[in-house]
Every structure is written in structure tokens, then in C-alpha cells.
Amino acid sequence: MVLLMVLTGILAGILSAILGIGGGIIMLPAIQLVLKFDPATAVATTLLAVALTAFSGALGHYRNGVVNLRNAMFIGLGGVIGIINGSYIFAAYLTKDTDLIQLLLGILFLIMAFRMLKDLYQELTEAEVKAKEPKSSSPIWLIVLGIIVGILAGMLGVGGGFLMVPAMMWLFGAEPLEAVGTTLLAMLPITLIGAFIKIGQGFVNLNAGLIIGIGSIFGAQLGVWVSTHIKAYIFKILFVIIFFYFAISYLWALVP
């Protein structure tokens, strides 16, 4: 069991550093579907592990000079506001209806699968994918993005990187590696505060969260190195399949 937790963390850390997805999108189904935790505990424990992943990945990308500290600060500020509210929604409503958690996670994985499939198609067809000119770099819009991501993190235990990375590129003109590095740093205060809130609420399995998180620290450092040597589309091919599988698993479990 411990070995499985460590391997889950390593894999999540690698993908976090390469794709900027925070790792929660991998840890969450592994904790629930493989380790057999109940949905509420899986969400809360994932958030703790993601905080450690974000720290390691952000540190590696910062050393490589691809982190925008200003943008990360404002997104993180908004995220703290969001995760406080998201954590309240989680404790007050979602933990009393685990089927709703299952439904939301199924929808989340479908969105992730289609988003990654779109990115994969653009890369494999050699379509030109460039960061757009920023529409606005106003702190207000960065804070708004953080609030949205924070609410999602508080409700479902994911770091929100799958929203932040494309938003950084399309709305704020960040290059891909900068978007990933900035996203990981912005996720650090969001997930860390969210984890402490959920520990206080009594939903976190500390042993599992720390073991998976420690594995993710090593995985994230490996992922930073891999991101400079291997094309991301290789991983996207695999995870399009995996995300569709997770979506079907969560939604199928709701069928009477």
C-alpha cells in the first residue's frame, strides 16, 4: 500500500511539472478508486499532497527562470479567497452527498480529457500554437482567475492547473513553460491553506497525504528535467485515454 502511494505521488509529480496540472487530477482517482478511500477523504487528502507537489514543481521551474512572480502572487491571493469559500461548500454540502462529488468529478475528467485531446490534436497536426497577446494583465483579472480556481480546489481537491495554464497563455500572453511554472507557484498558497482547512475539518488522511506528497516532490523534480527533454504530447496521448477512463468510472458508478 505504501509503495503504491509513493508511486502515485511520483507519477503525479512528473505530470505536474510537465503539464502544469498540479497532480491532483492523477492523485484523486488513485486515492479513491485504487486505495479505496471514500470520496470526501480522497478529495481532502489529495489537496494536502498537491500542496507538496506544487512546492517542488514551482521551485524547479523558478530555478529555470520560468516563473512570473507578480502574476503568481495575484492569482494566489485570489485563490486563497476562493478556497476558503470552496472549503465551506465542500463541508456544508458535498460531504453530505457523495454522489454529487462523483458526478462533479466525472464531469471534471471529461472536460480534462477533451481539453487535452484538443491540445494533442493541435500538436500532432503541427498547428501553430502560440501564446496570445495579453488582453489584460490587470491584477483584478488575475485575482478573479485565482478565486475561480480556489473555489474549485476547495470543492474537489484539485489544484486547478488545467484551468490556470491555458488561461495564463490565452488571456495573459504567457509562454507555455512560464504558464506551467507560474501556475505551480500560484497553486502553493491555495492548496496549502486548503489542506490546513480540511485537516481542521477532519477529512484528511495525514499518513496517505504525506506519503503521496513526498513521492510527488521527487516526481516533480524529475518532471522539470523531463519537460526540457521530452515532448509533452507523448504524455498527453496516454492521459487522454486515462482521463476518459476515469470519467466513465466515476459516472458509471452513479448508474443504478
pLDDT at 129 over 50: no
**Average pLDDT along the chain:** 84
Which range is least confidently modeled, 14-28, 54-68, 211-225?
14-28
Distance (Å, rounded) from C-alpha 107 to C-alpha 100?
11
Q: Which whole number is the average pLDDT over 41-61?
A: 88
Q: Which whole number is the average pLDDT over 158-185?
A: 80
Residues 6+ apart with CB under 8 A from 86: 150, 151, 152, 153, 154, 155, 194
pLDDT at 20 over 70: no
Number of helices (H), then strands (E), belonging to the chain: the values are 10, 0
Question: In this structure, are residues 43 and 104 in contact, taking their beta carbons and an 8 Å threshold?
Answer: no
Q: Which whole number is the average pLDDT over 99-115?
A: 85
Distance (Å, rounded) from C-alpha 159 to C-alpha 186?
10
> What pLDDT is stored for residue 100 in this prediction?
87
Main-chain phi, psi angles of 103, to 5 degrees: -65, -45
Q: What does 134-168 look like in DSSP terms, one character per residue?
A: PS---HHHHHHHHHHHHHHHHHH----HHHHHHHH
Q: Which whole number is the average pLDDT over 49-62?
A: 86
Cβ-count burial 36-47 (b if 16+ within 10 Å, e if not): ebebbbbbbbbb
> What pLDDT is stored for residue 189 in this prediction?
94
pLDDT at 136 over 80: no
> What pLDDT is stored for residue 75 in this prediction?
95
